Structure 1
Amino acid sequence: MQWVVTFAGAALVLLILRDVFHTLWHPTRHGGLSRLVMTALWRLSSVRGSRRGAPGLAGPLAMVTVVALWALTLVAGWALIYWPHVPEGFVYANGLRPAEHAALLDTVYISLVTVSTLGLGDIAPAEGWLRVVAPLEGLVGFALLTATVSWILGIYPALARRRALALRLSHLSRTRPSTEQIDSPAGAALLDDLASELAVVSVDFLQYAECYYFHDGDDRTSLARQIGYAVDIAHQSAEARHPDVRLAGVVLRTALEDLADILDQHFLHTRGTFQQVLAAFANDHG
């Protein structure tokens, strides 16, 4: 029975480590727990979206919740590993009675001290394999802290790129370049730049899927609101006489279709045309 509890704790630890790996380091996969938490908070923010500030909190709050769940579940898993082996498998500092510190709460304390790398030393592993497992928990705790910082440093630049593209589309929509202005080498270069920026945003949605669950706030910096103008300008370029403009327009439309395919496959699941997917994207970020 003791080893069943230990194996259950080890399985819990491995489950969370797998989720962390898929969320933070796998280039195209996303952890089930992080996806579940972020989707739930996103939907909840949409329901309560009439309250000022609720939508904007969805992404940051979801990240904090996911990291907290990772940490707490790791602590619980290691506590289950230790629990069947207290007090015999541990040594206690003077003044502590081992028999009085053999409950599950005590192993949670040991796990918290170890994962946070505090190393207070009042309760320490004595059995050989426990003396190996406990430092491993400290390494995992340090790795989780480092990975969380890297996650934040990865997501916010992705958000900045998405909002910069939205603002550029907003500038173009307010400027309203004519067909004659688009039908020029400068217009071809503009369309090509937009296609390149859309490709970067598409990769961001694949590699940092969590950035989808962040609202952009102002309509001018919301890609969901501004993406429609990219579709319009791609249609406009199809009527151009300049071959480079027509080619750039086809590339831009392809980039839009690829973005819509990623959004539909990973987030929206409409199975519609790319225009329908982009409209659903705008509605979901409304």
Structure 2
Amino acid sequence: MEWLVSLFGAALVVITLRDLFHTLWHPTRRGGLSRVVMTALWRLSRPLRTRSGHVAGLAGPLAVVSVVGLWAGTIILGWAIVYWPHMPDSFAFANELRASEHTGLLDSLYLSMVHVSTLGLGDIAPTEEWLRIAAPLEALVGFVLLTATVSWVLEIYPALARRKALALRLAVLLRTDRRERPSGEVLTASLLEGLAADVLRVRIDFTQYAEAYYFHDGEDETSLAVVSGYACELARRGAAASDADVRRAADVLSEALDDLATVLDQRFLHTGGSAAEVFGAYAADHGHRRTTGPAAGG
């Protein structure tokens, strides 16, 4: 029975490490536990996204903190369950501690937290050989969790910056377009190709850093959810241009937007609709109204 309890604790640790691996390092970047937590918090924050941008902006950071807390808590609990059946017989206690008074799960949790935080206080130490290996292994897992969390945060914010940069570029183009659209052709192949490259970078970011979706962009000018419709309009206008290079660049932009819409729909929105419908759902999900062109409202 003791070993069954320990195996259950080990299973919790393995499940958590698997989720951490799939969230941070697997090519699909789709962890089960982390995705459930982030999706749940995003849905709970939905009423706030149309009322208070400042409060809605906390959804993404809180989701990351919650996922890390879940990982840490489950790892600590799992290792505590591993130790628990073997307390106190398989451990040596400092002179001021009575072994008979430290047999509960709370003591195992304390020991697990000491190990995972790499404190190494030494007041309780394993004596059985396998536990003497397991305890340092937990410390190693704790170190991995810490470094993984730091690297995760450092990866997310550059992806957010790229998304906001694309949104701001489109917003500036839209303002210019509204202010004065000169007669004749206003689009160039280099402009459309540059936008297509930026869209593809954001598409990759949504694939590699799916958690970035749950970060609210805030103001309209830096929200891709708002100005994505204008990018679609630029692609349509380019497709009707007289210049062959512009038409080709517009096709590239249109394909890039379709790819982005596919990723958004498959991973987050599940509308099954066209690219325009997906971008509309994307804007609505972030509490915005999509901008579609010079005549549309901001």
Under TM normalisation by the shorter chain, which class is it?
over 0.9
> Secondary structure of the residue that 2:92 maps to in structure 1?
strand
Which consecutive residues of structure 2, in runs of 5 or more, have no partner in the other structure?
Answer: 288-298
CA drift of 1:52 comes to 5.7
For residues 20-40 of structure 1, the C-alpha deviation after alignment (integer angstroms, 9 at most, x for no partner) is 001111121311111111111
Question: How far apart, CA to CA, are the structure 2 residues paired with 1:269 and 1:157?
Answer: 26
For residues 221-258 of structure 1, the C-alpha deviation after alignment (integer angstroms, 9 at most, x for no partner) is 00000111100110000111111100000000000000
- The one-letter amino acid paired with 1:262 is V
The answer on whether the counterparts of 1:182 and 1:237 sit within 8 Å (CA) in structure 2 is no
**Backbone CA RMSD of aligned residues:** 1.1
Tell me the TM-score normalized by structure 2. Answer: 0.93
- The one-letter amino acid paired with 1:267 is F
Question: How far apart, CA to CA, are the structure 2 residues paired with 1:275 and 1:36?
Answer: 27
> Secondary structure of the residue that 1:124 maps to in structure 2?
strand
Question: How far apart, CA to CA, are the structure 1 residues paired with 2:199 and 2:60?
Answer: 22
Give 2:37's aligned residue: 37
- State which drifts further: 196-205 or 46-55: 46-55
- State which drifts further: 47-56 or 133-142: 47-56
- The one-letter amino acid paired with 2:108 is T
Which consecutive residues of structure 1, in runs of 5 or more, have no partner in the other structure?
Answer: none
Q: How does 1:109-128 map to 2 (within 5 A)?
A: 109-128=110-129
- Provide runs of 4+ in structure 1 moved above 4 Å: none
Give 2:60's aligned residue: 59
1:7 aligns with 2:11: no
Question: How far apart, CA to CA, are the structure 1 residues paired with 2:33 and 2:58?
Answer: 19
CA drift of 1:54 comes to 2.2
- The one-letter amino acid paired with 1:230 is A
Q: How does 1:62-101 map to 2 (within 5 A)?
A: 62-101=63-102
> Secondary structure of the residue that 1:112 maps to in structure 2?
helix
Give 1:280's aligned residue: 281
> Secondary structure of the residue that 2:58 maps to in structure 1?
helix
CA drift of 1:180 comes to 2.9
Give 2:270's aligned residue: 269
Identity %: 61
Question: How far apart, CA to CA, are the structure 2 residues paired with 1:158 and 1:178?
Answer: 34
Q: Tell me: CA distance 1:53–1:272, structure 2 relative to 1, closer, same or farther (3 Å).
A: same
Q: Tell me: CA distance 1:271–1:178, structure 2 relative to 1, closer, same or farther (3 Å).
A: farther
Q: Tell me: CA distance 1:179–1:135, structure 2 relative to 1, closer, same or farther (3 Å).
A: farther
1:180 aligns with 2:181: no
- The one-letter amino acid paired with 2:65 is V
Q: Tell me: CA distance 1:178–1:32, structure 2 relative to 1, closer, same or farther (3 Å).
A: farther
Query: How many residues of Structure 1 are paired with residues of Structure 2 in the alignment?
Result: 283
Give 1:20's aligned residue: 20
Give 2:292's aligned residue: none
CA drift of 1:278 comes to 0.7
CA drift of 1:120 comes to 0.1
- The one-letter amino acid paired with 2:235 is A
For residues 118-150 of structure 1, the C-alpha deviation after alignment (integer angstroms, 9 at most, x for no partner) is 000000111000000110000000000000000
- The one-letter amino acid paired with 2:275 is F
Question: How far apart, CA to CA, are the structure 2 residues paired with 1:168 and 1:24?
Answer: 29
